[in-house]
Chains A and B, each alone.
Chain A
Amino acid sequence: MSSDAIAIRTAADTDRPWVSVLHEWVTTVDHKRLGVLYILYALFFLVVGGVEATLIRIQLMWPHNDFISPQVFNRLFTMHGTTMIFFVAMPILFGFANYLVPLMVGARDMAFPRLNAFSFWLTAFGGMLLYFSLLGGNGLYGAGNAPDVGWWAYAPLASRAFSPGNSSDYWTIALLASGFGSIATAINIIATIISMRCPGMTLGRMPLFAWMNLVMSGMVLLAISPLSAAQIMLLVDRYLGGHFFDTQAGGSATLWMHFFWIFGHPEVYVLIIPCFAFVSEIIPVFSRKPIFGYPVMVGATVCIAFVSMSVWAHHMFTIGMNSYANSFFTITTMAVGVPTGIKIFNWLGTMWGGKLLFRTPMLFCIGFLFQFLIAGLTGIMLSSSPFNWQLSGSYFVVAHFHYVIVGGILFALFGAFYYWYPKITGRMLNESLGKLHFWLFLIGFHLTFDLMHIPGLLGMPRRIYTYEPGRGWDTLNFLVTIGTFVQAMAILVFVANLITSYFRGAKAGNDPWDAWTLEWTVSSPPPAYNFASVPTVLSRRPLWDLKHPEDPDSRYE
């Protein structure tokens, strides 16, 4: 069957000179290697962005603290946001999609392998450009180095007059480069899923992982492109003397906000939908049940994608739109909650009556379910425009979106790491370290982000450099920072686990979780060609059919 490995690799493989190994990795067009490169690259930036967050939190630990200067503080929160969204979340999710989509749909590679390599290096180049600003951003004496305009670079702050030197340009070009990389990857994923499926893999039999990545890629096409367009306009303004966002010449600062958030809000779903994909694969396997409501899951995903394209201005309630716009964006934002709620019910429905196995991937998914629900509820609170007028730009908002990004996206990602690490490396991650990682991170997360809502409600603005004592924020901020340290420790445990398990972990075998999708039919790590013979599938759970020929799913679907 498809797992009969053809012995191409020999002993000579292991003792080649490192230059030749490096050359092979740099020039690779193999979707699995590119996936690993994406993931490693993103993990590096996760640590960088995490250090930035820690520095921000140390500064906010006490009132009147001056651990870092205000200028550095502005750069830190700009770099933290930009890094985490564009150079951690996007590449890490693309990495998993790259690695898993061809395996799950029974293909030997992506549709366009060289385009795939191009996308990765474009994204990598973007990240390097962003951090090169630390050296090269000083276009003028005293102009500062790293960008300090916030991750959304509102006009006119990003114009030449208020952002001299080259720092904002590095930000712009880094996002433009990585944006083109993302669009190319999205094109690649779509073409792979539509045109490279193995015989029998109809759209209705495709794993939900592939479905959700298909939807995510469609959203990337529609969401990242406006950002690229807006970045081109910003460059025209800064370099050719254009007036797009130049209020002195009749330009509009609001237009930039619209363009940015037309990208910015769908982007949240671009990030969360692949996480739904992880959860939709992991929960059934550890509940020993097929996913509950497969067609409804697909429908809800498409529905979320559709509705999320028309909610962007809920980031802009405070700019003074008319009441029709306010009502429209309030209603659409609340409406996203409906398909999302359907999904949560489906995951619970999958677990209901299942034989639950509380292994680390499952723990992270359960954490995801709770936290994503709470994040969604604060989202519904913020969607109500009068409430939003009160709390927009406060730490309540910061707490809300970190609940989505850390409590939702990052938890699901950790689950994905524990679940697919055996496939990628051939070794299991250590289970005790995994549980330690989970509990430490859970405690740290809740300490930080539960408490962070309260200073927001008490009026603490986001991006504030320091604050007066005695406003009721002191203790809370101190505890929030302590939580950050706990999370940092958890990340250290995780990194240690990744490294030690690579060398000492238990051998995984082809199918350590007794799972049902095609990637578990091949060896771990899979051979370069993935499948020795292209598989044929007859149901949504091809491996179940293989393992239970007496009672295959294909009989019921």
Chain B
Amino acid sequence: MSTIATPLPETSAAWKLPYRAKVGMASLIIAESAIFTIFVVAYLFYLGKSLSGPTPREVLETPIFYTICLLSSSLTIHFAGKFLERGRRGAFLLLWLLTIVLGGLFLFGTGQEWHRLIYEHGLTISTNLFGTTYYSLVGLHGFHVTVGLIMLTIVLLFGLAGRVGPEQSARVDVLSLYWHFVDAVWVVVFTVVYVLGR
């Protein structure tokens, strides 16, 4: 149709659409929420249905300290993003590093708990239904924390190399969206496993 003139040149200067990476991450979060929902449902469905011990009440201890670590990392990453937006790279890197340390502490806590459960209480993924659902749910979350930490570390390395500036702020925000999601999932997992489940 090249013979026909261009349509009315009423190009709207104000044509602005949402940032695609943010939309993509939001969609990923929806999909991930559905995956976690299924695991949470399985956990709740099988509560108290194990045919043999140990039971959650006997062996689980509430990981309050490590939970505080993970949840506060949401704050640090939020402010890291704010600092980056204003161009304060030093503060950004410091808070970003702190986020990684807090996330790492949380993973360490999970590792410690698993070690205790396996070696002191003999609870493995194949022991009973509790073991199966517990390790799957907490492990799936831990896997997401690990992936998040890897991505955070990549950003940190780029930041240390001086490659992350205010112009990358929107991209960094996408990553922190993922990190907030991982934290929010932990709130659910914590409630289900350590509060309702005991």
Interface set of A (CB-CB < 8 Å, partner B): 1, 3-4, 111-112, 115, 183, 186-188, 190-192, 194-197, 199-200, 217-218, 221-222, 224-226, 228-230, 232-233, 236-237, 240-244, 249-252, 255, 259, 262, 510-511, 520-521, 533, 535-538, 542-543, 545-547, 549
Q: What's the least CB distance linking B188 to chain A, in Å?
A: 15
Per DSSP, are chain A's interface residues mostly helix, strand or loop, or mixed? helix
Q: A226-B34, A229-B38 given as contacts; is B126 within 8 A of A242 (CB)?
A: yes
B45 within 8 A of A: yes
Residue from the list B9, B11, B12, B24 in contact with A191, Cβ < 8 A: B24
Indicate if B49 sits at the interface (CB-CB under 8 A): yes
Q: Is B146 an interface residue (CB 8 A)?
A: no
Chain B residue with minimal CB distance to A237?
A: B132
Q: Report the Cα distance A244→B59, complex, angstroms.
A: 20
Determine whether the beta carbon of B31 is less than 8 Å from that of A242: no
Interface pairs (22), CB distance under 8 Å = A4-B2, A190-B23, A190-B24, A191-B21, A194-B23, A197-B17, A221-B27, A225-B31, A226-B35, A232-B140, A233-B39, A236-B125, A236-B136, A242-B132, A243-B132, A250-B129, A510-B2, A536-B8, A536-B11, A542-B7, A546-B7, A547-B4
Chain A residues positioned under 8 Å from B50 (CB to CB): 249-250
Closest to B25 in A: A187
With a cutoff of 8 Å between Cβ atoms, the chain B residues found around residue A510 in the complex are 1-2
Q: Indicate if B133 sits at the interface (CB-CB under 8 A).
A: yes
Contact of B17 with A537 in the complex, beta carbons under 8 Å: no
Contacts of A549 in B (CB 8 A): 5
A9 to chain B, nearest CB (A): 17
Bound-state Cα–Cα, A187 to B46, Å? 32
In Å, the complex CA distance between A546 and B6 comes to: 8
Taking A244-B133, A250-B46 as contacts, is the C-beta distance between A194 and B18 under 8 angstroms? yes
Residue of A nearest to B13 (CB): A199
**Distance, CA A237 to CA B42, complexed state (A):** 13
Q: Bin the interface of chain B by size.
A: 35 or more
Closest 4 pairs (CB-CB, A-B) = A241-B126, A225-B34, A195-B20, A229-B38
Q: How far is the CA of A443 from the CA of B125 in the complex (A)?
A: 55
Decide yes or no: A230 and B38 within 8 Å by CB, A240-B125, A242-B126, A536-B10 being known contacts: yes
* Contact partners of B7 in chain A: CB under 8 A: 1, 535-538, 542, 545-546
B51 at the interface (CB under 8 A from A): yes
Looking across the interface, which residue of chain B has its beta carbon closest to that of A182? B31
Partner of A221, one of B4, B5, B34, B46: B34
Flag whether B157 is at the interface (Cβ < 8 A): no
